Amino acid sequence: MRLDEAGMLPGAEHIPSPNCDERPEGVEISLIVIHNISLPPGEFGGSGVAELFTNTLDANLHPFYASIADLKVSSHFYIDRTGRIFQFVPTVMRAWHAGLSRWQGREKCNDFSIGIELEGTDHVPFTDEQYDSLKSLSLAILEKHPSCGLAGHSDIAPGRKTDPGPFFDWNRYRFSIGKLSS
């Protein structure tokens, strides 16, 4: 698995999101941010995440959707419970996944990070298939951007975000990609 020059992952299911823009000139990618998401909350297997990231979420389909249907958000990648990888934004572009954020003294993490959403919640473990896909995807990113640090959404937006949550096994993830520190 390897990212191409356009920042696309061959083999991923590509679903273009309009919620992205150019990265600031001269900014190097230096961070991978891990998130969790499920739509509706706590339910797996639906199309809600893709619809949210493509601005096609129907606010009438679920009571929670009314509160988020107008958001303009995205992520570079999304890994469902079966390990299938979806790509919404090329890595050379800025996805809108981090929001108000700070990492090691730098603000606006969207500028220099790649966002990976895992289908899940703060309340259930992630699947082996997700960890396998996350490993392969992360190694592809690190091949192109070897100095990337690793953080959870909760690390870059403490007090505002809790994901990827207490069930994300950071030791397993770091060990699998040979990066034992963030």
Residue 146: pLDDT band by 50, 70, 90 thresholds? very high
Beta carbons within 10 angstroms of residue 28's beta carbon: 11
Which structure tokens are listed for 132? Answer: 């396998």
Of 5, 107, 117, 129, catalytic: 117
d(CA 119, CA 134): 12
Which structure tokens are listed for 123? Answer: 């309340």
Q: pLDDT tens digits, residue range 118-145?
A: 999 999 999 999 999 999 999 999 999 9
d(CA 158, CA 112): 18
Q: pLDDT tens digits, residue range 73-89?
A: 999 999 999 999 999 99
pLDDT of residue 83: 98
- Angle between the 170-177 and 128-144 helix axes, to the nearest 10 degrees? 50
Residue 117 is a catalytic residue: yes
d(CA 85, CA 83): 6
Domains, the chain, in order of start with CATH, read: 13-177 (3.40.80.10)
